[in-house]
């Protein structure tokens, strides 16, 4: 608990003090040190400030300052060591209290901070055992991920924060990271930098130095630096900057132990490399920083999280978030007047805007430090990247190459996936045969064969195609090509009112629309972010793939890859048109600049690729045992009841079932598309999850009498004895796939839209708009096909 939580006359023992360096030091100098007893003397009438007694002195602290001191009451300590006297009174030995304090102080809170694509998430995965996917482009980490692990009797709580290039208030990532530092106050910051790209990466480090934050630098992918023949005196550079530097490679764990040894040393104040330096911004700017810093030091309450020097620099830069942080203080108006005066003086003297001046000085400091400590070797990797980029990002060849890669991905997905699909299908058929032979006839047997095996089994056969699709996407992400795809698409994105960075969430939508919508947080412009979110559901996610595989394999075997590619391109086309309409009628033109890193090409590690593939496959399998299993049972029950009389044929029974009645109720709306009531029911069930469309078709079209002899695809093309027509034909199948592509986003996607936009209004708009577009486009395609057949 925190010191601010204590009530009047309550006593506790101080565990530790958190917060910014100078604030922490001042509080400890006042007597608030580990192991000391502190009690609440009295509260002010408005509950702030509070008078505490520590070391026989009475000291007044504001509640916000007391919140930075962690304590443990004697009662809590006694409960932890479970020493209860037989009389019911608490028995507390001092050595036991010391043990409790000692264990509490060995909890280290860490924040992983670094540029996009620096390897933070790889490091997080390695130490915490989490399976967050690592993509070789910015924006994979869209929020803080929390993990924990133990090392050398210390418990570490680690947060993987979004990748950011600086700590200003320009992008959502920067705002998020800075807010985390303010609210969570990590004990140690692990600044992950790319060892082979120090000049760019160390800019963020200079801002952490301004903050006076306890920091250690992980020189990640250090092997790439040495492979180029470069040499870095990282120990000397660390001493120059006052921040320890540890070579690491988070992909294979090299140097991780050394990194956390250094974290422990910093936490325990045992690292002699650590020292607070002031990066010199030149006499003109420094004089302005010093004036504002001196004024800010008057009010100690604002210095709990950030150093006065950092706040002064950000005030000079006109940082809106810092102004919001300070505006409630009584001296705010005076501070702003001083700031405005100093900014005007600096601009007049340097003839340059203040942000550019500060950035130039920081890069000058970095350049000077590296000149002494860093010797650049050959740049073979850089040359290789340039050669590859000259081809794949070529203005004529870039787009055709991208389409070719997409076609190859779908070709591999369909062709390679066909073999394991047959194996799984045979296994499902064998299970059905076994159950049919062992069990006696009855409702339970029908439930297992038609509901469970027919529903879940009809979907699980598509697991190999899902695995291959994610394997291809993972390879493009990890290799660095996905960032090039965004670069290639920037011009097209700009023409529809977006920019290349919006392309990353759209590409991620091929896997799943839910995380893709969340990934749109990395887009700086609010309007571009909202448009990207609203058009993402039209990007065909992997959940729709089983529907395509089933129908394309049944009706379009000779042109399977082209049909699937065409569906994906149709989804992209509808998304583009929708974005254009939104930009024209709802939002102003957006001129947000396209700034995105093009990382060097890397050969993805087998571990990373397989980990990602397994993670997504496991999610798919969990869905089989969860929502799809439940939905299959519900659909079976609705199709099974009411039973009617024994003289009814199976078709008549299905028509009169609850499910049949639902399907027939919407027939007037769907009949122009050529859909019968069974297809209508499958479409309705797909609102929960698109995979359920296939399981529903499996339940409705495959009955228990011949489930072992006839596969679903054959039942779809079989002549219906009641209508004397095939259940489905190629035109209806194509219309069906188009409708599934465009209609109702699944419930999880709608929830993601509501969460990311902050309002259910946009989710409802997406629902009605997508269903309308799906009906219109499917109707058009059906009748165009009828004209030519």
Cα atoms found within 13 Å of the Cα of residue 696, Cβ hemisphere only: 26
Residues 698/455, Cβ–Cβ less than 8 Å:
yes
Residue 751: is its pLDDT beyond 60?
Answer: yes
pLDDT recorded at residue 168: 78
Which value, to the nearest 10 degrees, does the dihedral of the CA atoms of residues 224, 230, 235, 236 take?
-150
Beta strand 11-17 pairing with 37-43: antiparallel
pLDDT recorded at residue 233: 93
Residue 541: is its pLDDT beyond 90?
Answer: no
CA end-to-end span of the chain, whole Å? 75
| Residue partners of 63: CB distance under 8 A and separation at least 6 | 4, 47, 48, 49, 50
Convert the pLDDT of each residue in 585-620 to its tens digit: 888 766 555 556 667 777 777 777 777 677 767 766
Q: What CA–CA distance (Å, rounded) separates 318 from 335?
A: 12
Residue 276 CA to its chain's centroid (Å): 34
Residues 141/121, Cβ–Cβ less than 8 Å:
yes
Looking up tokens 């993972």 gives 474
Find the mean pLDDT for residues 32-47: 76
| C-alpha distance from residue 544 to each of 673, 691, 736, 745 (Å) | 19, 6, 12, 11
Convert the pLDDT of each residue in 689-738 to its tens digit: 787 888 778 777 765 444 433 467 888 888 877 677 887 899 999 999 99
pLDDT recorded at residue 92: 46
Question: Is the pLDDT higher at 100 or at 184?
Answer: 184
Convert the pLDDT of each residue in 110-161 to its tens digit: 999 998 878 888 898 888 876 554 544 444 445 678 888 898 889 899 999 9
Question: 165 φ, ψ to 5°?
Answer: -90, -20
Find the mean pLDDT for residues 193-213: 90
pLDDT recorded at residue 98: 59
Residue 221: is its pLDDT beyond 80?
Answer: yes
Find the mean pLDDT for residues 286-302: 84
Model confidence at 749, pLDDT cuts 50, 70, 90, reads confident
Residue 300: is its pLDDT beyond 70?
Answer: no
| C-alpha distance from residue 438 to each of 168, 441, 650 (Å) | 68, 10, 23
- Three-class DSSP category at 307: coil
Hey, which residues does 375 pair with through a beta bridge? Answer: 231
Could you tell me which of 470, 528, 476, 525 has the C-alpha nearest to residue 498? 528
Could you tell me which of 129, 265, 117 has the C-alpha nearest to residue 194? 117
Find the mean pLDDT for residues 349-353: 86
Instruction: Note the pTM of the prediction, 2 decimals.
Output: 0.64
Spatial strand order of the sheet with 245-247 comes to: 145-151, 154-160, 107-114, 188-194, 215-220, 245-247
Residue 88 CA to its chain's centroid (Å): 50
Convert the pLDDT of each residue in 387-434 to its tens digit: 888 888 887 888 888 888 878 887 787 678 878 888 887 888 899 889
Q: What CA–CA distance (Å, rounded) separates 198 from 243?
A: 14
Cα atoms found within 13 Å of the Cα of residue 430, Cβ hemisphere only: 6
| Residue partners of 390: CB distance under 8 A and separation at least 6 | none
Residue 673: is its pLDDT beyond 70?
Answer: yes
Burial degree of 335 (CB within 10 A; 0-12, 13-18, 19+): buried
Beta strand 215-220 pairing with 245-247: parallel
Average pLDDT, the chain: 81
Q: Tell me if the bond preceding 105 is cis, omega within 30° of 0.
A: no
Question: Is the pLDDT higher at 732 or at 676?
Answer: 732
Residues of the chain with pLDDT > 90, as a percent, come to: 23
| Region label for 724, one of left (φ > 0), alpha (ψ between -120 and 50) or beta (otherwise) | left
Residue 785: is its pLDDT beyond 90?
Answer: yes
Q: What CA–CA distance (Å, rounded) separates 345 from 291?
A: 13
pLDDT recorded at residue 733: 95
Question: 480 φ, ψ to 5°?
Answer: 105, -5
Find the mean pLDDT for residues 547-559: 89
Q: Which pair of structure tokens corresponds to residue 662? A: 């639902």
Residue 766: is its pLDDT beyond 90?
Answer: yes
- Three-class DSSP category at 277: coil
Q: What CA–CA distance (Å, rounded) separates 773 from 578?
A: 10
Residues 341/288, Cβ–Cβ less than 8 Å:
no
Residue/partner pairs of 768-776 with CB below 8 Å, 24 or more apart: 769/578, 770/537, 770/538, 770/742, 770/743, 770/744, 770/745, 771/743, 771/744, 773/538, 773/574, 773/578, 773/742, 774/738, 774/739, 774/741, 774/742, 774/743, 774/744, 775/669, 775/673, 775/739, 775/743
Lowest mean pLDDT among 235-239, 496-500, 658-662, 692-696: 496-500
Which value, to the nearest 10 degrees, does the dihedral of the CA atoms of residues 87, 89, 95, 100 take?
120
Q: What CA–CA distance (Å, rounded) separates 187 from 181?
A: 10
Model confidence at 87, pLDDT cuts 50, 70, 90, reads very low
- Three-class DSSP category at 107: strand
Q: What CA–CA distance (Å, rounded) separates 363 from 371?
A: 12
Q: Tell me if the bond preceding 442 is cis, omega within 30° of 0.
A: no
Q: What CA–CA distance (Å, rounded) separates 564 from 544?
A: 11
Which value, to the nearest 10 degrees, does the dihedral of the CA atoms of residues 99, 100, 103, 104 take?
-150
Find the mean pLDDT for residues 58-77: 77
pLDDT recorded at residue 620: 63
What are the b/e assignments for 68-90, b being 16+ CB within 10 Å? bbbbbebeebbeeeeeeeeeeee
pLDDT recorded at residue 650: 59
- Three-class DSSP category at 111: strand
Hey, which residues does 719 pair with through a beta bridge? Answer: 726
| Region label for 47, one of left (φ > 0), alpha (ψ between -120 and 50) or beta (otherwise) | left
| Region label for 735, one of left (φ > 0), alpha (ψ between -120 and 50) or beta (otherwise) | alpha
Residue 89: is its pLDDT beyond 50?
Answer: no
Degrees (nearest 5) of the Cα angle 501, 503, 506?
Answer: 135
pLDDT recorded at residue 103: 57
Residue 707 CA to its chain's centroid (Å): 42
Residue 645: is its pLDDT beyond 70?
Answer: no
Query: Using CA of residue 576, residue 577, residue 580, residue 585, what is the dihedral sign?
Result: negative
Convert the pLDDT of each residue in 316-328 to its tens digit: 998 888 888 888 8
């Amino acid at each position: 608990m925190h010191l601010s939580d204590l009530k009047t006359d309550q006593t506790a023992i101080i565990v530790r003090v958190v917060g910014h360096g100078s604030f922490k030091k001042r509080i400890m100098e006042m007597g608030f040190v580990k192991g000391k007893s502190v009690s609440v003397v009295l509260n002010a009438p408005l509950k702030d400030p509070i008078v505490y007694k520590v070391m026989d002195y009475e000291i007044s602290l504001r509640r916000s300052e007391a919140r930075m001191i962690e304590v443990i009451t004697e009662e809590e300590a006694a409960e932890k060591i479970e020493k209860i006297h037989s009389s019911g009174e608490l028995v507390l030995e001092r050595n036991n209290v010391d043990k409790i304090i000692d264990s509490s102080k060995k909890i280290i809170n860490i924040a992983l901070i670094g540029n996009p694509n620096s390897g933070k998430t790889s490091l997080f995965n390695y130490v915490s055992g989490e399976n967050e996917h690592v993509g070789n482009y910015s924006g994979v980490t869209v929020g803080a991920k929390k993990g924990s692990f133990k090392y050398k009797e210390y418990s570490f709580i680690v947060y993987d924060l979004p990748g950011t290039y600086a700590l200003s208030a320009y992008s959502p990532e920067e705002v998020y990271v800075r807010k985390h530092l303010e609210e969570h106050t990590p004990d140690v910051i692990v600044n992950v930098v790319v060892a082979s790209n120090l000049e760019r990466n160390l800019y963020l480090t200079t801002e952490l130095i301004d903050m006076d934050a306890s920091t250690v630098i992980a020189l990640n992918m250090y092997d790439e630096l040495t492979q180029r023949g470069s040499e870095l005196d990282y120990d000397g550079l660390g001493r120059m900057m006052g921040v320890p530097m540890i070579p690491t490679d988070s992909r294979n764990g090299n140097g991780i132990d050394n990194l956390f040894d250094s974290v422990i040393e910093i936490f325990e104040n045992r690292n002699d490399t650590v020292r607070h330096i002031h990066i010199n911004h030149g006499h003109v700017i420094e004089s302005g920083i010093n004036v504002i810093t001196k004024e800010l030091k008057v009010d100690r309450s604002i210095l709990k999280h950030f150093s006065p020097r950092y706040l002064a620099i950000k005030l000079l830069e006109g940082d809106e978030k810092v102004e919001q942080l300070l505006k409630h203080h009584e001296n705010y108006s005076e501070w702003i007047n001083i700031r405005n005066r100093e900014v005007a003086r600096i601009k007049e003297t340097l003839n340059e805007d203040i942000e550019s001046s500060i950035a130039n000085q920081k890069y000058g400091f970095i350049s000077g430090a590296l000149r002494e400590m860093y010797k650049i070797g050959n740049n073979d990797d850089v040359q290789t990247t340039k050669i590859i980029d000259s081809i794949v990002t070529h203005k004529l060849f870039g787009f055709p190459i991208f389409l070719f890669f997409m076609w190859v991905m779908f070709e591999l997905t369909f062709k390679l996936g066909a073999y394991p699909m047959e194996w799984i299908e045979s296994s499902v058929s064998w299970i059905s045969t076994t159950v049919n032979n062992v069990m006696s006839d009855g409702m339970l047997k029908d439930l297992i064969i038609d509901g469970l095996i027919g529903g879940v089994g009809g979907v699980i056969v598509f697991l190999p195609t899902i695995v291959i699709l994610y394997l291809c996407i993972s390879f493009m992400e990890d290799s660095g090509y996905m960032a090039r795809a965004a670069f290639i698409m920037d011009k097209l994105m700009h023409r529809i009112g977006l920019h290349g960075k919006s392309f990353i969430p759209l590409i991620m939508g091929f896997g799943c629309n839910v995380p893709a919508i969340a990934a749109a947080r990395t887009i700086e412009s609010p309007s571009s972010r909202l448009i990207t979110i609203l058009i993402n559901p039209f990007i065909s996610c992997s959940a729709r793939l089983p529907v395509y595989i089933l129908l394309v394999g049944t009706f379009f075997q000779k042109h399977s890859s082209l049909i699937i590619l065409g569906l994906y391109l149709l989804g992209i086309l509808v998304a583009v048109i929708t974005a254009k309409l939104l930009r024209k009628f709802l939002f102003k033109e957006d001129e947000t600049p396209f700034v995105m890193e093009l990382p060097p090409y890397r050969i993805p590690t087998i571990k990373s690729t397989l980990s990602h593939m397994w993670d997504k496959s496991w999610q798919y399998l969990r869905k089989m045992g969860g929502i799809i299993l439940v939905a299959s049972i519900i659909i079976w029950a609705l199709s099974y009841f009411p039973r009617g009389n024994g003289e009814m044929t199976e078709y008549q029974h299905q028509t009169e079932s609850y499910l049949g009645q639902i399907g027939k109720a919407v027939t007037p709306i769907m009949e122009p598309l050529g859909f019968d009531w069974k297809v209508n029911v499958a479409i309705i069930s797909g609102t929960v999850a698109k995979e359920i469309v296939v399981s529903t078709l499996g339940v409705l079209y495959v009955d228990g009498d011949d489930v072992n002899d006839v596969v679903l695809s054959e039942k779809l093309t079989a002549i219906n004895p009641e209508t004397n027509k095939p259940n489905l034909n190629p035109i209806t199948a194509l219309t069906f796939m188009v409708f599934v592509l465009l209609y109702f986003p699944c419930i999880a996607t709608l929830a993601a839209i509501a969460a990311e936009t902050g309002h259910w209004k946009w989710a409802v708009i997406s629902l009605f708009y997508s269903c309308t577009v799906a009906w219109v486009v499917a109707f058009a395609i059906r009748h165009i096909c009828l004209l030519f057949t």
